[in-house]
Amino acid sequence: MTRTMRTMTAGTILALLMVAGWPGEALAAKRILRLRLDGPVMEKPNDMAGLMSMFGQESAHTLREWVKTIREAAADHEINGLALIIEQPQMSLAQVEELTRALQTFRSKGKPVYCYMDSAGNLSYALASAADRITLAENGELEITGLHAQLTFFKGLLDKIGVEAEMLHCGAYKSALEPFTRTEPSPEAAENVNWLLDSVYERWVELIAKNRGLTADEVRKLVDAAPLTAQQALEHKLVDEVSSFGAYKKMIQKEFGKDLEVVKKYQPGQEQEQEVDLENPFALFGMIAEMFKGGTEATDPGIGLVYVDGGIMVGKDDQGPFSAGTAGSTTIRAALEQARTDDKIRAVVMRVDSPGGSVVASDIIWDAAKRCAEEKPLVVSMGAVAGSGGYYVAVPADTIFAEASTITGSIGVVGGKIVWKGLMEGILGITTTEFSRGKHAGLMSFDRKWNDDERKWLTDYMNATYVLFKGRVTSTRGDRLKKDIDELAGGRVYTGEQALKLGLVDKLGGLSEAIDFAATKAALAKDCPVYPLPKPSELVALVQLLQNLGKSENDEFELKPKAELQGTALLRTALPLLRELAPEQVKEIVRGLRNLATLQQERVGCFMPIVPVIH
């Protein structure tokens, strides 16, 4: 026997002895990642949401954090599977599409995904369908009843309180201000809603059918029969098992072995979390001080990530505890300028999730994006909505990504004001006397309607703004547009899939695909650093630190009690009761009031037309 053969034989024997448990150690126990989706799936880090999570609210994670975790776990040879617990996440279909692709990537590595749900609605089930195996609670339901759209109108209320709305629009489909002038949608607005619903509905059905191995017709029939009991869902192959949460845990433990390790705080490639003596305040303060020294300045070549999240307004970003707040032109312009001038940032991704807003702010961001694109690859990733001003700011990009269900387009402008005279004088008895110097000094007066000269001036001003908007699109999109700009504009709204066919966007995909594409354009590795701009607040890091200091729950899978049992409603005392009862309607009211404030200041705006509340 040769020396080589003797060496190989010894190595083989040693390996066999290690497997057997002697003299080496036994093979490592299996590890699975546990993810629990509940509460809002944010677009960008939100300081206020993070603070609220410390007082009983569900931790607010961004879409990028969720997707990045799943993708990194897919590539981690020490992670063998995924336990996905879906409770009551607040997310859009566009976010579901990106999360679905991340789960498919995980499964493509030969790693199973096991999902548990107490019950599920349209979007949560669409996401669950991407798992290998779905467990539904014994008395749970699948409320996959289809898409239901609601449009909210305020004219009846305004009539009752003596308030008039004077509104103008460029484009027959530009229906953003119809809620203030009508009690029902115009034929064009209704047409807009119907073609959006058709496209979104087919995309939703397609996701479920493909993931569950059913035909689209089979899914449509089941949708028409819903809500479905757990047993009905099992019979029709929409779920794989009907049992308790305890049985779900035992099933996973049986699949992976009794020594299974469940990973709840996943930090790939990092050392174990530092232990802190909570009884020693100096140790905690020392860690916080050390944490704030580092910062997130670019040190290695990477990608800059800029968020345009929320209504577009002049000034700095403004965050709310449970929503995106506003996308401020000052903040975003500074972020794009930082990305343009930083040599370490080789390409830029701009994530747009916005229904538009201020024309002035949109044009400021457009200009900053254009200057950035002239020096570095600029890629736009559209979220759930990127229309009107949200589309305006996106067009300078080299490449625009959208999900199939993204709502975009809405090239057009609106203008108007609210006349309060009937309320003030007729009901409250408050009278006003006006004094002016200058022909148009009282243009935006709330005490009277426009005269003929003022109406003509504003109409001309709106038309000029509309021409500017269309020019911004044609100058940057050029021959990529499949139709004349006037056929694409007029306030018409499209899904991402429709927009792709018309040349309004370039590719279907999400934020992860946009980042990977930007890295390729800049000749960088796909795992290169991504730098959020502007630099995230230290408050974000502080909240994350404090959240991680507590002891882990005894239940390694951790199914969270319902919010009512935790008393979280009491922690929301700053929010109106109406927000709890009808959150989507309140959101539309707030959006409408914000639009009115913009009109009062700027006279015209780039707002999305009526976007239906889809359930």
Check whether 614 has a pLDDT greater than 60.
Answer: no
What pLDDT does residue 259 have? 86
Average pLDDT, stretch 383-404? 96
Check whether 1 has a pLDDT greater than 80.
Answer: no
496-515: pLDDT as tens digits: 999 999 999 999 999 999 99
- What Rg value do the Cα atoms of the chain yield, rounded? 27
What pLDDT does residue 78 have? 93
Check whether 107 has a pLDDT greater than 80.
Answer: yes
Strands 413-419 and 164-170: antiparallel
Average pLDDT, stretch 319-344? 84
Measure the CA–CA gap between 43 and 615, rounded to whole angstroms. Answer: 20
Mean pLDDT of the chain: 83
What pLDDT does residue 24 have? 38
Query: Which region among 147-156, 363-372, 587-596 has the lowest average model confidence (pLDDT)?
Result: 587-596
Q: Which CATH class is domain 298-535+585-614?
A: alpha beta
Average pLDDT, stretch 19-29? 47
How far is CA 24 from each of CA 19, 20, 30, 259, 538, rounded to the nearest angstrom?
A: 8, 9, 18, 18, 46
Select the more confidently predicted residue: 383 or 58: 383
Average pLDDT, stretch 334-363? 95
431-440: pLDDT as tens digits: 888 888 888 8
For CATH 3.90.226.10, list the domain ranges present in the chain: 28-145+226-263, 298-535+585-614
Kindly report the length of the chain.
615
What CATH architecture does domain 28-145+226-263 belong to? Alpha-Beta Complex (3.90)
Select the more confidently predicted residue: 306 or 151: 306
Contact call for residues 510 and 97 (beta carbons, < 8 A): yes
62-79: pLDDT as tens digits: 999 999 999 999 999 999
Check whether 282 has a pLDDT greater than 90.
Answer: no
Contact call for residues 406 and 496 (beta carbons, < 8 A): yes
Average pLDDT, stretch 216-243? 96
Select the more confidently predicted residue: 601 or 74: 74
139-191: pLDDT as tens digits: 899 999 999 888 889 999 999 999 999 998 888 888 888 999 999 999 999 99
Q: Which residues pair with 61 in a beta bridge?
A: 41
Residues 6+ apart with CB under 8 A from 574: none
Average pLDDT, stretch 197-210? 95
Tokens of 262: 């469940």
Average pLDDT, stretch 547-576? 47
Tokens of 293: 């020294």
Average pLDDT, stretch 117-133? 96
Check whether 86 has a pLDDT greater than 70.
Answer: yes
Contact call for residues 449 and 166 (beta carbons, < 8 A): yes
Measure the CA–CA gap between 581 and 601, rounded to whole angstroms. Answer: 32
Measure the CA–CA gap between 413 and 598, rounded to whole angstroms. Answer: 13
Average pLDDT, stretch 314-320? 80
Select the more confidently predicted residue: 503 or 587: 503
Contact call for residues 356 and 606 (beta carbons, < 8 A): yes
Residue 596 — very low, low, confident or very high, per pLDDT cuts 50/70/90? confident
What pLDDT does residue 467 have? 96
Check whether 201 has a pLDDT greater than 70.
Answer: yes
Check whether 273 has a pLDDT greater than 60.
Answer: no
Average pLDDT, stretch 358-377? 96
Q: What percent of the chain has pLDDT over 70?
A: 76
Check whether 56 has a pLDDT greater than 50.
Answer: no
What pLDDT does residue 425 have? 87
Select the more confidently predicted residue: 27 or 176: 176
What pLDDT does residue 541 have? 52
Check whether 612 has a pLDDT greater than 60.
Answer: no
Average pLDDT, stretch 367-382? 97
Select the more confidently predicted residue: 273 or 92: 92
Count other Cβ atoms within 10 Å, centred on residue 372: 27
Q: Which residues pair with 318 in a beta bridge?
A: 326
Select the more confidently predicted residue: 600 or 68: 68
Average pLDDT, stretch 591-612? 72
Average pLDDT, stretch 428-449? 88
What pLDDT does residue 296 have? 54
Check whether 29 has a pLDDT greater than 90.
Answer: no
7-18: pLDDT as tens digits: 444 444 334 433
What pLDDT does residue 280 have? 56
What pLDDT does residue 318 have? 77
Select the more confidently predicted residue: 550 or 441: 441
DSSP state of 602: H
Check whether 271 has a pLDDT greater than 50.
Answer: no
Query: Which contacts of 278-283 are long-range, i.e. CB under 8 A and separated by 24 or more positions?
Result: 278/549
Residue 6 — very low, low, confident or very high, per pLDDT cuts 50/70/90? very low
